[in-house]
Amino acid sequence: MLSRFDYVKPQTLEEALAYLAENAGTKILAGGTDLMVMLRRNAQMPEHILDIKSIPETRRLDYKPQEGLFIGASINVNEVAGAAMTREKYPALAQAANALASYQIRNRATLVGNICNASPGADLSGPLLVYDAKVHVANSQGQQTVAIHEFFTGVKKTVLQPVDIVIGVSLPDVDAADAVFLKQARIRGHDLGIVGVAARLTAAKEFRIAMSAVAPTPIRLTRMEEQLKDRPLTPELAAWAGEEAAKSIRPISDVRSSAEYRRHIAGVLVKRALSQLLAAGGI
Ligand SMILES: Cc1cc2nc3c(=O)[nH]c(=O)nc-3n(C[C@H](O)[C@H](O)[C@H](O)COP(=O)(O)OP(=O)(O)OC[C@H]3O[C@@H](n4cnc5c(N)ncnc54)[C@H](O)[C@@H]3O)c2cc1C
């Protein structure tokens, strides 16, 4: 049976929030690259579809010194990847955006849709975790921000309620550009990662390491970050971190990979990520 639903495309945030508050069973549509797959499989049968792309607040993509980068919910992944400020200041995010699917998909897919869909293997979650991003959420009662590490609650689950719209995501201003994203996938351009690793060395020389596809949600390896603190980055430390990372995760086997291969490749990618930070001048 084909899905049947009402389609609305409000022009203002107020209109959209009022519609959501009044119509239970509404699903938000951004790029549709995840949602359309679910509709086609009848895996979701919403009564209403609310397209957010005409809402002006979701079209913002701007960087302000001291404040940082704001990426609106209608900004597609190619726009994120191509923005000069993303490439200069937030290279792990730019690299992850370039690694997501194919150019055509990236022209539709949004960064916000990627995290709202909450796949454990979503590429853009790791970089957002290492940059301590904030998710800006609105509903008819008001607006709030949620730290990205509190946003994911399980496989395909977030803190969002059916009446909520994510307006966008903000990343704090950063001094150093030392960061890297690495991904192992079965087929480049057509698949979620078997493992994704984002690693960052902050201006205060602290490590931030996040991984996707190795747990029910994207995770930060905070215990290992603590252990790495104040230790000079050397090839030996990169190798140690790779081994520790592989030991500290509990991945599952699924259609993309066995747990054993995931664990192995997670260690390889963490070692490689830290080696790249070292080669780029990290200490
Ligand atoms: C062929 C193919 C290859 C892919 N490869 C990759 C890949 O390599 N890496 C990867 O990470 N992903 C991949 N994906 C998944 C996908 O492209 C992303 O998850 C995409 O970023 C989702 O964004 P969207 O705008 O299309 O979201 P939509 O499909 O529009 O929405 C996704 C979900 O988020 C909700 N949502 C969207 N926007 C909001 C909002 N503002 N507020 C609240 N809820 C919202 C929707 O209701 C829906 O549940 C692939 C998809 C396809 C079809």
Domain closes at, from 124, 151, 172 = 172
Identify whether residues 213 and 131 lie together within a single domain: no
Distance CA 169, CA 88 (A): 18
**Domain hosting residue 152, numbered range:** 57-172
Predicted local confidence at residue 282, as pLDDT: 66
User: How many structural domains does the chain have?
Assistant: 3
Q: Is the pTM of this model over 0.75?
A: yes
Residue 73: CB within 6 Å of ligand 1?
Answer: yes
Per-residue pLDDT, 281: 81
pLDDT tens readout for residues 220-264: 999 999 999 989 999 999 999 999 999 999 988 888 889 999 999
110 lines ligand 1 (CB under 6 A): yes
Once rounded to an integer, what is the mean pLDDT over residues 205-215? 95
- Asked if residue 276 and residue 209 are part of one domain, the reply reads yes
243: domain CATH number is 3.30.390.50
Per the CB < 8 A criterion, the answer to whether 57 and 72 are in contact is: yes
Q: Which atom of ligand 1 is nearest to the CA of 111?
A: 21
Per-residue pLDDT tens digits for 121-151:
999 999 999 999 999 999 999 999 999 999 9
CA distance 154 to 23: 26
- Distance (angstroms) between ligand 1 centre and the Cα of 39 equals 13
**Sequence letter at residue 35:** L
| Residue 105 clears pLDDT 90, i.e. is over it | yes
Do 246 and 226 reside in the same domain of the chain? Answer: yes
- Asked if 213 and 267 sit in the same domain, the reply is yes
- Residues 93, 134, single domain; the answer is yes
- Judge if 167 and 69 occupy the same domain: yes
State the pLDDT at residue 254. 86
Predicted confidence at residue 2, as pLDDT, reads 65
What share of the chain has pLDDT > 90, as a percent? Answer: 87
Q: Are residues 71 and 163 in the same domain?
A: yes
